[in-house]
Amino acid sequence: MKKKPLSKKSVGSGDGYYIKSAGVVLKEPITKTLEKNYMPYAMSVILSRALPQIDGFKPSHRKLLYTMFNMGLLKGKLTKSANIVGATMKLNPHGDAAIYETMVRLSRGYEALLYPYVESKGNFGKFYSRDMAYAASRYTEAKLSPICEEIFDEIEKDAVDFVPNYDNTTKEPVLFPIKFPSILINSNVGIAVSMASSICPFNLEEVLKTTIKIIKKEKFSFLSVLKGPDFPGGGFIVRDNEALKKIFKTGRGSFKIRSRYEVDKENGCIDITQIPYTTTVEAIIDKIILMVKSNKLKEISDVRDETDLNGLKITIDYKRGTNVKNLIAKLFKYTPLEDSYSCNFNILCDGVPKVMGIKEIILNWQQFRQSCVKRRTKFELLRKEKKLHLVLGLNKILLDLDKAIKIIRSTEKDEDVVLNLIKGFEIDELQAEYVCGIRLRNLNKEYILNRVKEKDALKAEIKDLKNILGSEEKINEIICDELKEIIKKYKKPRKTLFLDSVEEFEDVTNEKNLNSSVNLFITKEGYLKKITNLSLRQNSEQKLKEKDEIVISTEVEGDVDILVFSNECKMNKVNLSCLKETKASSFGEFLPAYFKFGEKEKIVKIIYTKSYEGFLLFFYENGYAAKLPLKLFKTNRKKLLNAFYKKSNLVEIFHETKEKDYMLKTSGRKTLVLNSGLVKESSKKESKGIKVLKLTGKSYLKNVLKLEKKEAEKYEQISLEDLV
């Protein structure tokens, strides 16, 4: 009997509700509705979209990279991004915009990863900019990065499982058989339903060394090897060992990141060159403007984005008389120039989301990697055994090659050839098919003997492969050897440095701070290198022009003044903090170009000083010497004209704080030893000083050498009367 719809009077009673134009709507507990309708969605987001798996990739990453591999983009040329996006839609049916954005985030041009998986050409935007949009896919080009060789090397060796794509027309890998724990090397952030994941990046060399030690079950302190996160944008981490230990152990915690800045006192501005990974240039500028309007940052007169091809740069102009140190402290307090990074190492392992510490992540990756190595080894073993089986069949043919040819020639039907060979040589169908497939020109003893010689080598290889499968220790050894090789190929120095305290950061690590210590190198040709201790430890081999040599090599404070005297009686001055840091592998700053020297202008002497103590001793070709206090040259000017006596050519300048002995040599081979104490100090820069050498004819003072105390004792000193 057909049931009648419930009347309006029965609303809320019985088995359901009657709604006009809808009929009967059955009642159902909300928990059951959520279970039926919301839970499948939640599980799909958690398992197939937002959270990374132990190989370090989300499904969208994996579909894109595998498509690029199938397109031959690992070693091939760059191709249009639109081609890649279109091909990826065979695996990822979420629309071209989502696929292209995924590729952008994996690219080198976007600069969001320490080790990008995609090489890019064109405008891919920047992770540190909110408004710098990437170009359309029809304009940009891409291919796989070299590091992807470590991802796809075993993809065709049955190292991982494959599953059908969404329409069952092709297959895709469930995981990548990656040879290193990329889950800890490139950042990964995702928001699922009721849970999220935030994995900060670490330095590849540090992670791989830590992994090797864990696999070998060595006892070690984590912080001694894995020093902490390393972000692609650089910056500074305020060191908190307890917080880092908690993150390493539990997978949860937070730490502070600070920007890197330079103070340009000459132009009255602060240049921000590196910012926290968690913010953008626009967010920082917007916050600074807001703070200026609210009178919390009154010292700032202007802020602008000067980012260009050389990289990120935010310039903050401050007002005259501003206490820069206090302003910087305010900027860190009120703006995202200092930010916190919250860690949540939530990773899918065997289809289950789990928050893990570093050691547990590495152990899970090790287990996954062992599975890949075993499957790869089994694949190789089956291939070798099949080849050996075919070679053994050839060996039987070799016993009577004429018989084999006779059987083939005397067989009337093509389908009977294999059967007759099986009967004639007692080989199986696979071996017979292999023999039949050999070309006529190769049916000679030399060819067959060469193939048969492989028998012993194949047996040895098969034995080794079986030994690997039977020994977990050998599998671990293979994993460690692969990790060591990857370290050699891809290791890079850290980009993010550490600060032991906030105070140390403000006083020491600021590149242009008054108390920062750097290594100063000046060459004979006038090249200046300002190298940090860290950079010098990484590479101490100095690159120089041909026939050039280093004349000054010392460690100095960052605010020393560099005084450059030229043959045109000029003195140019620059504070070392105003010069860019260089590396030992570069030529450095060419001072004549920096000071815009004239065509015939050359450097005579370079002196560095901080306190302007002591004096300068000038020697001239006409036999005169002048002693001038160094304080005469302490000025706010960048250039001094008539910096010394100009009516005679300058031979040499010496900077001393104590009296020294000097040997003067003339063009007429006359030699004189002189103590600088005999030269009276002058108060005017243009002073020619006193005559210290009697010259005859056309002779002139050729050169002056400083003598050590023991050397000076060998020579007879002149008296003051000899100078009159």
pLDDT at 320 over 60: yes
**Average of per-residue pLDDT values in the chain:** 86
Spell out the residues 6+ positions from residue 395 whose beta carbon is closer than 8 angstroms to its own.
Answer: 452, 455
Q: Give me the catalytic one of 38, 41, 139, 612.
A: 139
- For residue range 82-99, list pLDDT tens digits in order: 999 999 999 988 889 999
pLDDT interval class at 165 (50, 70, 90) = very high
Q: What is the DSSP letter of 107?
A: B
For residues 114-124, average pLDDT:
96
Residues sharing a CB contact under 8 Å with residue 684, sequence separation 6 or more, in sequence order: none
**How confident is the model over 514-569, as pLDDT tens digits?**
445 788 888 888 888 888 877 777 777 888 888 888 888 888 876 788 888 888 88
Sign, Cα dihedral of 145, 149, 150, 152 = positive
pTM: 0.66
- 137-158 tens-digit pLDDT: 999 999 999 999 999 999 999 9
What pLDDT shows up at residue 17?
A: 67
Stretch 26-55: mean pLDDT: 85
Question: How far, rounded to the nearest angstrom, does the alpha carbon of residue 303 sit from its chain's CA centroid?
Answer: 29
User: How far lies 480's CA from each of 160, 214, 346, 477, in Å?
Assistant: 20, 10, 25, 5
Confidence of residue 168 (pLDDT cuts 50, 70, 90): very high
Q: What is the pLDDT of residue 580?
A: 78
What's the pLDDT score for residue 715? 57
- Residue 718 in this model has a pLDDT that exceeds 80: no
Which residues 6+ apart lie within 8 Å of 69 measured at CB? 144, 148, 152, 155
Lowest mean pLDDT among 497-506, 586-595, 664-673: 497-506
pLDDT at 6: 46
139 carries an active-site annotation? yes
Which pLDDT tens digit goes with each residue over 264-317? 988 999 999 999 999 999 999 999 999 998 888 989 999 999 999 888 999 999
* pLDDT tens sequence across 607-625: 888 888 889 889 998 888 9
* Most confident of the following: 368-377, 419-428, 584-593, 676-685: 368-377
Mean pLDDT within 670-691: 85
Q: Is the pLDDT of residue 128 over 90?
A: yes
Grouping H, G, I as helix, E, B as strand and the rest as coil, residue 264 is strand
The model's pLDDT over 195-214, given as tens digits with 9 standing for 90+, comes to 999 999 999 999 999 999 99
Written as six digits, the tokens of 465 are 């492969």
Contacts of 380 (CB under 8 A, 6+ apart): 157, 465
Query: In angstroms, rounded to a whole number, what is the distance separating the alpha carbons of residues 14 and 654?
Result: 108
Tokens of 611: 């306190």
Q: What share of the chain is helix, strand, coil (3-state, %, to 5)?
A: 35, 25, 40
Q: Summarize pLDDT for 95-118 with one digit per residue, the tens.
A: 899 999 999 999 999 999 999 999
Burial of 392 (0-12, 13-18, 19+ CB in 10 A): middle
Least confident span in 56-60, 168-172, 494-498, 641-645 = 641-645
Domains in the chain, ordered, with CATH? Answer: 8-43 (no CATH), 51-178 (3.90.199.10), 260-336 (3.30.1360.40), 374-488 (1.10.268.10), 514-605 (no CATH), 611-724 (2.120.10.90)
| C-alpha torsion angle, residues 325, 326, 331, 333 (rounded to 10) | 120
Which residues touch 649 (CB under 8 Å, ≥6 apart)?
A: 567, 620, 621
Return the half-sphere exposure (C-beta side, CA atoms, 13 A cut-off) of residue 269. Answer: 15
